[in-house]
Amino acid sequence: MNDMADDIGLLNRPAHELAALIRSGEISAVAVTEASLARIEALNPTVKAFLTVTPDLALEAAKATDDALARGEELGPLAGVPIAIKDNLCVDGVLCTCASKILDGYRAVYDATVVERVKAVGMPIVGKTNLDEFAMGSSTENSAFFVTHNPWDLSKVPGGSSGGSAAAVAARMAPLALGSDTGGSIRQPASFCGITGLKTTYGRVSRYGLVGYGSSLDQVGALAADCVDAALLTAVIAGQDPRDTTSADVPVPDYVGELTGDVTGLRVGIVRELMGEGIDPEVRESVLTVARALEGMGASTGEASIPHIDYALPVYYLIGPAEASSNLARFDGMRYGHRTKERAADHIEMYSRTRAEGFGPEVKRRIMTGTYALSAGYYDAYYLKAQKVRTLLRLDVEAALGQFDVLLSPTTPLTAFGIGELVNDPIAMYMADICTFAANLAGVPGLSVPCGFTKAGLPIGAQFTGRAFEEGTILRVGDAYQRATSHHTSLPGLLGAGG
């Protein structure tokens, strides 16, 4: 398959349908992977979702899947389905830049645990996707290399920081992708790009091999066409890992088996604080249609409250940068990555010049903020106080989830904004994640599903937040909603099919 016209009908299917076709022998894993690589070749110059494409790695895995099927081996439910990997996750022998000049040219020397797991089930890795530098941003405009474009409107951002992964799935360059979510970086781009994105409970998925930003907040998760695909991929990557001491020893349920389509008696709490001022009216109305749809399926709805949610943004932007200040100290030009070519009088000057040249403005802003918050005389006033308010937020979320089975809100207060529109206004940019911070600060799972379009044709996302380790519940609600609606099946106009 050498052109997009040949593969368009094939790749526009969800991953679980592609996997079934591969297992039945109706199509080969190599053919699906070649179709994915052909679409990347056709669309990536425009969308700019991928930093690195890995055809040899992908085709080798696809051929291994076809050979195993020919031998009559029993394979997993995603065998042969191509996947894209966010470029802050290590893939052995492949560039891992975190979209930063300071890691330009660095090749990982091992696989992240989640990468090991997708390889183990026979999923071909087609490439590494663009992101905001070191996952710090909400638009993928902070990449040191180029800006990713939203497939629904190429003048708009795809969201961030997992914007490359979201754009790759939205444009069906890859049926599935992995992203990371520190304050909304899976769910917000999923909303902007009209796809499904799941942030799992903190500790559900190993962070080994994920380049750290905020270690108490980061979590790896799935970007997919629908909840079935998200459930299948989460089942692959979830589970305890002895190499990550924060991964939880909690059994991984049968996520797909929990997708019953039945939400009868389920209690859905609409978060009052996320439905008022600052929420675009079209977004608010679309989320209310989700509530009405679930009521029609037998769920009950009511008003939930997270009283301290107004503090989520300042708390996040103290804790995240403080942890980043520590995590990014390792990038000093000594062992790997960029080192200044300027002559330095001593190692301190070499460090300073290397980091000044290697880090972009947003990363520098967050390192300085975090270092200040941790400095002598300010630790108690800023970082320690932020941790105390984080506890209040966690208790708020737990109390709300004591009254309701899931919480419903917009994923974002607005839809995809124009490239360049907010890049010089950090506070306005930070506000784009106001609806998603709470799940990271509380360590609970959050899911974004497409729930409509604006009059201008841009996707809108609804967010379901659930109790710790109850990803199955929010996936069940999201799947039931998707069975009753078609928003998630709409495709961007550049694929020849509009929303």
Residues carrying an active site annotation? 86, 161, 185
**CA-CA-CA-CA torsion sign (462, 465, 470, 473):** negative
For the chain, the C-alpha Rg in angstroms (whole number) is: 21
By C-alpha distance, which of 125, 137, 154 is closest to 100?
A: 137
φ, ψ of residue 482 to 5 degrees: the values are: -70, -30
Q: How far is CA 264 from CA 16, 176, 439, in A?
A: 26, 30, 25
8 Å CB contact between 95 and 61? no
**Interstrand relation of 300-304 and 267-271 (parallel, antiparallel or unpaired):** parallel
DSSP 379: T
How far is residue 128 CA from its own chain's centroid? 13
Distance CA 133, CA 141 (A): 9
8 Å CB contact between 393 and 441? yes
- Coil, helix or strand for 227? helix
Angle between helices 281-296 and 471-484 (to 10 degrees): 90
8 Å CB contact between 222 and 234? yes
Tokens of 399: 């109390």
DSSP 150: B
Distance CA 216, CA 316 (A): 11
Number of H helices, E strands in the chain: 16, 11
Tokens of 45: 């110059």
Neighbours of 481 (CB within 10 A): 25
Tokens of 380: 């108690």
